[in-house]
Structure 1
Amino acid sequence: MTLEVFERLKAKKDYLAVVGLGYVGLPIAVAFAEKVKTLGFDINQEKIAVYQQGIDPTHEIGNEKVKNTTLEFTTEQTRLKEAKVIIVAVPTPINGDKTPNLSPVVDASRIVGQNLAKGSIVIFESTVYPGVTEDVCIPILEKESGLSCGKDFKVGYSPERINPGDKVHRLDNIIKIISGIDQETVENIAAIYGLVIPAGVYRSASIKVAEAAKLAENAQRDINIAFMNELALIFDRMGISTKDVIDAMNTKWNALGFYPGLVGGHCIGIDPYYFIYQAEVLGYHSEIIAAGRKINDSMAAFITHNVIKTLILAGKNVQKSNVVILGVTFKEDCPDMRNSKAVEICKKLAEYGIAVTVVDPVVDKAEFEKELALNLVEIKDVHNADCLIFLVGHQQFKDLGTADIERMFNEDRNQSKHVIVDIKNVVEFKHLAAEVYSYWSL
């Protein structure tokens, strides 16, 4: 068994390349650039131009690191010929019918195959259902390169586990699951990732096991949140505070600590559909995973209904109310709007003729303008609200005091109440006067 690929990489005789420089690819590319010669490739010229200016729009590693990195940013496909290790970290979305959209990983495989050097290792990090790496990606690599997998080049799979916006669980302290087509490949991949991940690696039994592990961990979280969302649906009918129930429940040692909420983003809101799809192909209809998806996908409509209901009960003219949405990204303190259920709520409110204003201090402004035709304002400029809807728990929102919240409302209530809809339990309602405010939360 030889670690020749790793040794040449470590000696800086060969390049490592990362294909796809988004929330996953950028951090790993910059990390490797501190240890070995690294190329960062993306087909998006605008994205590469931003990185070359030293700007990190993902907020995952910060402008300073991007500005000072030795990572060589490029849109030139032929530069991949210089790399003997190529990591593919492109997104894998779903189609409108919730089936997997493998176009990004297929296109990336074509590009890599057309520029694949003999003796290379290609490692896929994109989330896929079991079998995609071996049954879809490898044949494309072979066809485009004219090389034979196992003989002329090797392939591995290592699912990304980055949690966007998480400042605690980072790339370097999350154990990396790895796999490869043979033991030699596994050991080379283990040594390669060992350069940048002190937490270590876990050698999975096979590529399919590694692919399945990523789907399973996200489906598990999706189901747990779905359970809490279903409790919220029931407790709302019972007139019980879900948060009060959860706070009581969490005093037990084996409580899992999940809360209800909007499940979006590019992982938990997407990956279970890959699981469901492949199960259906194999003749099994998912019960639990599909049910969890159905519940979580229904929450935007449920929240929209309760916004309107709360406005009416508070004595507001719904269509004339000044409604302010606080947070439209898919999670707290992360600029990513992909598959955000907060965006879905904005659009559903618009269907009822409700004009909304949005406050989001961390959202990617370019992405916001492309996704929503709404006003994006700073929180200091909110003065005349009839209703505040906290959809995302950004730290800036959590830091708001009672006086800050009172300042954002219209002083002339016309005998109606100020409305607060608080999906993330940002507001301490007990500090607000019940005769002035109408409050609803999950």
Structure 2
Amino acid sequence: MLNDLKQKKKQIAVIGLGYVGLPIALEFARQFRVIGYDSNPDRVAMLQRSEDPSRQLPADAFAGADITFTDNPDHLRQANFFVVAVPTPVDDYKVPDLKPLQRASEAIGLALKSGDYVVYESTVYPGCTEDDCLPLLEKYSGLTLGSDFKLGYSPERINPGDKVRTLADILKVVSGNDAEAAQTIADIYGCIIRAGIYVAPSIKVAEAAKVIENVQRDLNISLMNELAIIFDKMGIDTQEVLKAAATKWNFMPFTPGLVGGHCIGIDPYYLLYKARQLGYDPQVINSGRRINDGMPAYIATKLVQMLLQRDKSPRQTKVLVMGLTFKENIADIRNSKVADLVRELMKYAINVHVVDPHASPNEVAHEYRLTLMDRPSSQYDAIIVAVGHDEYKVLDVPYFKSLMNGAPILLDLKGLYSVQKDDEIQYWRL
């Protein structure tokens, strides 16, 4: 397979061209022929113009890439090595939504030929690749795993917005349905990953390794959020506590905050779902999710208390929320907990304005039915800096005061600013 790919007798197809799939497709396309498939025709049209819809990659990242972008699943028949990088969200009830994965598996099944490889990168619960995806591949192809085609799983580890630890610089975990599959997949990925390859002993181990990466971070952040709630009741600055604790060599430097996005805020539900299927209700994982999901309501309640302490009726106040993306310096708004915070504020009949230099107004309107303003107005009763965009890090107290009326309140959820008592602004941070 590898030699045929190098000689461009065979092709790689990447299914799903979001923040995970596109970098993989382009990196492969520097050495191999690649078909980049996405079911969204608008996204494909942008990619054909060398525009990244996620706004993570510049136009020159497309230069020299031997890649064809398409939304026609029939074109997948030309490929022999399939990489699946579609989203794996949860529904409104926090139940895994496998529809994108199932549709991708069906499309590949219709294109699958004897000797082909299929590698899944989408984050799932252990067993999903073999129990949920494989039957679809075999059903729609009429082929049998092992004797006809090979299967693998290689969890994505891309960190959106990270310009230092890029795809090629993050060690890649791979696995296969047998030793031959694992080695071939390792060799192919090894052509584009500088950091090295780790071959997991089974597909389930690779799946489990990925999902617990984000479960671990979720739990650590939930601990920080719970500590922030406790210390706030004590009148102690959590950031100062963490700074002091970090002087010990083995203290882990996690910080409190809103936990959104499509990894940390989603992946634990996949493991929770599978565990409950097996008759076990995880206590620690579920507790961490409950704390982190409850932070928007906690912050909204905190602001209302501060408004009331200053004799401001929530119904007669105007609040500015700065930042809506799920993390700093990216355009991705999926599973934004800032949107949840805005909704919590609106429950108190607060007039909320939202700005974000990176988010798309059209996407915000479509996803959350919220209006993104071009720029802040004035006479705000309070401002919440919710995302640590670089554009916000350079702001200062006089700037915020210029946007607010009497008795100004500043909530700094990312701990970006140093505010003194004589600055005449009520300041709070997690």
Name the TM-score, length of structure 2 as normaliser: 0.97
2: CA distance, partners of 1:228 / 1:201: 33
Q: Is residue 422 of structure 1 aligned with residue 417 of structure 2?
A: no
SS of the residue corresponding to residue 138 of structure 2 reads helix
1: CA distance, partners of 2:274 / 2:263: 17
Q: Is residue 407 of structure 1 aligned with residue 397 of structure 2?
A: no
Contact 2:328 2:387 (8 Å CA) reproduced: yes
Pairing 1:68-79 to 2, within 5 Å after superposition: 69-79=65-75
Pairing 1:130-279 to 2, within 5 Å after superposition: 130-279=126-275
Q: Which residue of 2 aligns with 1:389?
A: 384
Structure 1 spans left out of the alignment, 5+ residues: none
- The change in CA–CA distance for 1:384 and 1:57 in structure 2 (over 3 A counts) is farther
Q: CA deviation at 1:77?
A: 0.8
Pairing 1:427-442 to 2, within 5 Å after superposition: 427-430=417-420, 433-434=422-423, 436-442=424-430
Q: CA deviation at 1:68?
A: 5.9
- Aligned match for 2:84, one of 88, 93, 97: 88
- Aligned match for 2:299, one of 296, 300, 303: 303
- Aligned match for 2:4, one of 5, 8, 11: 8
Q: Aligned AA for 2:400? A: I
Pairing 1:38-49 to 2, within 5 Å after superposition: 38-49=34-45
Contact 1:88 1:126 (8 Å CA) reproduced: yes
Contact 2:361 2:371 (8 Å CA) reproduced: no
Q: Which residue of 2 aligns with 1:59?
A: 55
Structure 2 spans left out of the alignment, 5+ residues: none
- The change in CA–CA distance for 1:382 and 1:66 in structure 2 (over 3 A counts) is farther
SS of the residue corresponding to residue 231 of structure 1 reads helix
2: CA distance, partners of 1:406 / 1:158: 49
SS of the residue corresponding to residue 323 of structure 1 reads strand
2: CA distance, partners of 1:9 / 1:262: 43
Q: Aligned AA for 1:77? A: P
2: CA distance, partners of 1:114 / 1:439: 59
1: CA distance, partners of 2:11 / 2:403: 54
Q: CA deviation at 1:335?
A: 1.0
1: CA distance, partners of 2:317 / 2:120: 49
1: CA distance, partners of 2:387 / 2:422: 23
Q: Which residue of 2 aligns with 1:362?
A: 358
- Aligned match for 2:21, one of 25, 41, 51: 25
SS of the residue corresponding to residue 372 of structure 2 reads strand
Q: CA deviation at 1:312?
A: 1.6
Q: Deviations over 1:376-413 (max 9, x none)?
A: 2344x443322110111111111113333233223xx2
2: CA distance, partners of 1:214 / 1:158: 9
2: CA distance, partners of 1:68 / 1:348: 48
2: CA distance, partners of 1:68 / 1:371: 34
Task: Give the number of aligned pairs.
Answer: 430
SS of the residue corresponding to residue 433 of structure 1 reads helix
1: CA distance, partners of 2:163 / 2:25: 18
2: CA distance, partners of 1:83 / 1:74: 13
1: CA distance, partners of 2:326 / 2:297: 16
Contact 1:326 1:391 (8 Å CA) reproduced: yes
Contact 2:30 2:64 (8 Å CA) reproduced: no
SS of the residue corresponding to residue 114 of structure 1 reads helix
Greater Cα offset, 65-74 or 127-136: 65-74
**% of aligned pairs identical?**
46
Q: In angstroms, what is the RMSD of aligned CA positions?
A: 1.4
Q: Is residue 321 of structure 1 aligned with residue 317 of structure 2?
A: yes
1: CA distance, partners of 2:369 / 2:116: 46
2: CA distance, partners of 1:355 / 1:78: 50
SS of the residue corresponding to residue 387 of structure 1 reads strand
Q: CA deviation at 1:374?
A: 3.7
Q: CA deviation at 1:67?
A: 6.3
- The change in CA–CA distance for 1:69 and 1:319 in structure 2 (over 3 A counts) is farther
Name the TM-score, length of structure 1 as normaliser: 0.94
2: CA distance, partners of 1:400 / 1:269: 29
- The change in CA–CA distance for 1:372 and 1:137 in structure 2 (over 3 A counts) is closer
Q: Which residue of 1 aligns with 2:333?
A: 337
Q: Deviations over 1:235-279 (max 9, x none)?
A: 111111110100111111111100000011101111111111111
Q: Give every structure 1 segment of 4 or more consecutive aligned residues whose post-TM-superposition deviation is greater than 4 Å.
A: none
Q: Aligned AA for 1:439? A: Y
